Amino acid sequence: MRIRRDRALSLLVIAPSVLAVAIFVYGLIIWTGYISTVKWATLRPDYSPVGLANYMSIFANNRFLMDIRNTVVFTIFFIGASLIIGLLLANLIDRKIRHESIFRSIIVFPMAVSFIVTGVVWKWILSPGLPAVGPTAADPHGVNQLFGLDPATFKWLTDPQVLQLAPDSPAGKVLHDIGLGFVTSPNIGIPVALLSIVLAAVWQMSGFVMILYLAGLRAIPEEIKEAARVDGASEWRVFRHVVFPLLTPITLSAMIILGHISLKIYDLTVAMSGSGPGFATDTPALFMWQTAFRDGEFGRGAAVAIVMLVIIAVVVVPYLVWNRRQGVEA
Amino acid sequence: MKLPSRRILAVISVVALVASACSSSATSAPSTGAASVAPSTAAGVTPIEVVSWWTTGGEASGFNAIIAKFNTDNPTLQVTNSAIAGGAGSNAQAALQNRVLNGNPPDSFQVHMGHELLDTYVTPGYMDNLDDLYAANGWTTQFPQGVLDIVSAKDSSGTVHYYSVPLDIHRANVLWYNKTVFTANSLTPPTTWDQFFTDADALKAKGITPLAVGDNGIWATGMILESILISTLGADGYIGLWNGKTSWTDSKVTDGLNIYKKVLGYVNSDHATLTWDQAADYLIPASAGAQPKAAMTLMGDWAAGEFDNKGFTDYGWMAAPGTDKIYDTLADSFGLPTKAVNKAGVKLFLTLLGSAAGQDIFNPYKGSIPANTTAGNPPASAKQYSTYQKWAMGEWKADAIVPSLEHGAAAAPSWKGAWETAVTSFVANPDVPTLQAALAQACKDASVCK
């Protein structure tokens, strides 16, 4: 009887937020999905169904394809670098050094800054200065000035170059012959300017990853490591075969948290370079906003939103399933 | 890290389904007339709410001056300026669209004249026409025909209707230059693109960036291409691009795109991170007598205000190369929403905005020129026009008038979006046939070209 009353009370307490989430998250997702299949392309809502025409039109749009490329590149570099740096920092901090909390605070601090502030500051740092158009006018500032780099080579955010496999290179020709010629299109490659954004994002988030790993490291019982050492394992092998596997849940959680940040990234790129040279730093979120609210094409904008949702779901849902299975086993 | 139990998840999903079913059926019936109750004030004064994106500087001063005059002349009416800050109105437009869509528009609002107004608000049926105001005030003869063409649209029977009152006129195709740089290097400011390249090579050899560009917001490079197309196609040919009479595959378009490609080789390499005003500042030397970073910039005539604010006087101007006697025009205008509460009051206000007296109050502050050709002589006690503005007014009366694409006059916002996509992609892949094909496709997608 008492258990029942507890349950009724807990249901009552969570009901308002469940209802709000149901309406304002799931309800609006369904509504957006519906809008993505109607014609609505001006300010006046037009609910005549068009099937998948909006989706076909955005996938035929070169800008959207570049946005997908940017998202993939950004996600890989951002998560990879944040995890490696975060893990490294966590291990350094975990050496029982003096004044640990001071170092910890300094390293985590960037996370407290808003992405807009990060973006503006890094935009200034990376501002390349004028290129040397003549012998006298080399006028670098920011990081180029600090390290004496040539602004004509180190263009940072302003670099329109996309590192890609050239169609006329030997490898490109081979790929073309076996029917994989699309790999050499400019839509598959690494936009150089985007890496500057990755740099700023990693600066902001790697401290957060460090904290996650530090918590994980501290949770590993000393006895396990001791046992491995007694068995004659070197420190590296202790880390590689004992500590690191035990950190897997932390790594996965960090990947999911960073992953959903990178898939939705908007404020940082807007503050740093907008769409960038040749859409080098454009993102699906920016494309969606402009399509819907500047061009008034709400149907197409909704289609972009749904594609973003699907991409995020592909990353997050397996994690949720895995996480729940862990919970059941425990 | 444990998630809620299976049971709670089930509850959530059931509630989600039920709630979303309710919400979608409720929202699919558009609500109407929710806010068409006139707000009343105690003193018997009827408020008129006008939304603009003029929040700072000369433009805000000018608009407040014109509102003050209206409120003094009409004691029973009270115009309020609900300004929404944001460059070129990008924030204002999103907020405004929401209100119009919800049937709760302000009594009047600022919008670029031309297709930004027509395609966004007029075609879907959110605006009343202003034919009676145009007839009663003689505006059909006071505004140049080029402006009348831009603010009007034909209905299904072919009758022309006017939809907004242009308050100011800006010119997009102006080349600004540092005078000392040109005299010191014995160069003549270019009137053709050939001459531009000759000058640019000489400047580059001296270590000066020839053309400063700040296209952080994309539109600045689009505006350069706009000016180039005007120079290769002429006024009629350029207007034809936007109504289907000129083909986008025309060889003169190809010529323009080739010039554009060449021009991009003479701009500052950090253009993608700069705003237009940061780029304009490249013309200003760091100290008197020093060499500025750049010699020229191609920008709308709001650049004059930027130079004046920075105390820079050593600037000269002329029409962009090859576009002399053509006025690439954009204007801020005000219209009458169908659901405006106090239409009679709004019409009185619009009458003041279109009149010579009203335009002479506002434009000296804004740095633009009056659209009304009978204006241009503000009373001696009021703020006067600058040297640039007097020059521009002379040009305005003599020039052919063409609509600016980048500032909403020439084409629908979605067409402009497609154009900007093509132009920006060109930066990464500078291939003229690809760009020309993309521009031609954009015209087809806009249902203007076949």
Please give the CATH number for the structural domain made up of A22-329: 1.10.3720.10
Least CB–CB distance from A130: residue in B15, B20, B293: B293
Nearest Cα neighbor of B213 from A255, A158, A248, A146 is A158
Contact residues on chain A for B216, CB-CB shorter than 8 A: 273-274
Are residues B431 and B386 both part of a single domain?
A: no
Q: Where are the domains of chain A?
A: 22-329
For residue B36, the model assigns a pLDDT of 36
Domain of B411 in residue numbering reads as: 171-328+407-445
Are residues B399 and B426 both part of a single domain?
A: no
CATH number of the CATH domain containing B319: 3.40.190.10
Three-state DSSP at B46 gives: strand
Q: Given CB atoms, is B207 within the 8 Å cutoff of chain A?
A: yes
Q: Given CB atoms, is B15 within the 8 Å cutoff of chain A?
A: yes
Contact residues on chain B for A157, CB-CB shorter than 8 A: 272-273
Of all residues in chain B, what percent carry a pLDDT higher than 90? Answer: 64
With 60 as the cut, is the pLDDT of residue B223 above it?
A: yes
- Residue B1 domain flag: no
What is the C-alpha R_g of chain B?
A: 24
Query: Which of A19, A275, A317, A328 to mutate against chain B (most B CBs within 10 Å)?
Result: A275
Name the pTM for this structure: 0.80
pLDDT category of residue A324 using cuts at 50, 70 and 90: confident
Mean pLDDT of all residues in chain B? 87
d(Cα A25, Cα A22) in Å, to the nearest integer? 6
Nearest Cα neighbor of B167 from B397, B381, B333 is B333
A28 and B97: CB-CB below 8 Å? Answer: no
Task: Name the residue with tokens 């454009």.
Answer: A282
Are residues B165 and B175 both part of a single domain?
A: no
Are residues B159 and B297 both part of a single domain?
A: no
pLDDT category of residue B7 using cuts at 50, 70 and 90: low
Task: Write b or e for each residue in B40-58: b if 16 or more Cβ atoms lie within 10 A of its Cβ, otherwise e.
Answer: eeeeeebbbbbbbbbeeeb
- Residue B72 domain flag: yes
With 70 as the cut, is the pLDDT of residue A328 above it?
A: no
d(Cα A209, Cα A217) in Å, to the nearest integer? 12
Angstrom CA distances, B440 to A99, A283, B77, B255, B408, stand at 65, 25, 49, 15, 19
- Residue B33 domain flag: no
Q: Given CB atoms, is B221 within the 8 Å cutoff of chain A?
A: no
Are residues B192 and B148 both part of a single domain?
A: no
Are residues B89 and B201 both part of a single domain?
A: no
Interface pTM (ipTM) of the complex? 0.73
B414 and A297: CB-CB below 8 Å? Answer: yes
Are residues B366 and B417 both part of a single domain?
A: no
pLDDT category of residue B90 using cuts at 50, 70 and 90: low
B417 and A295: CB-CB below 8 Å? Answer: yes
- Each residue's pLDDT tens digit, B102-131: 889 999 999 999 998 998 899 888 999 999
- Residue B159 domain flag: yes
Least CB–CB distance from A253: residue in B1, B204, B269: B1
Residue B400: CB partners within 8 Å, gap ≥ 6? B146, B235, B236, B325, B326, B327
Are residues B155 and B195 both part of a single domain?
A: no
Q: What is the mean pLDDT of residues B359-372?
A: 93
Q: Please count the structural domains in chain B.
A: 2
- Residue B23 domain flag: no
Least CB–CB distance from A158: residue in B24, B269, B425: B269
- Residue B121 domain flag: yes
- Each residue's pLDDT tens digit, B413-433: 889 989 988 998 887 778 999
- Residue B38 domain flag: no
- Residue B29 domain flag: no
For residue B6, the model assigns a pLDDT of 53
A276 and B272: CB-CB below 8 Å? Answer: yes
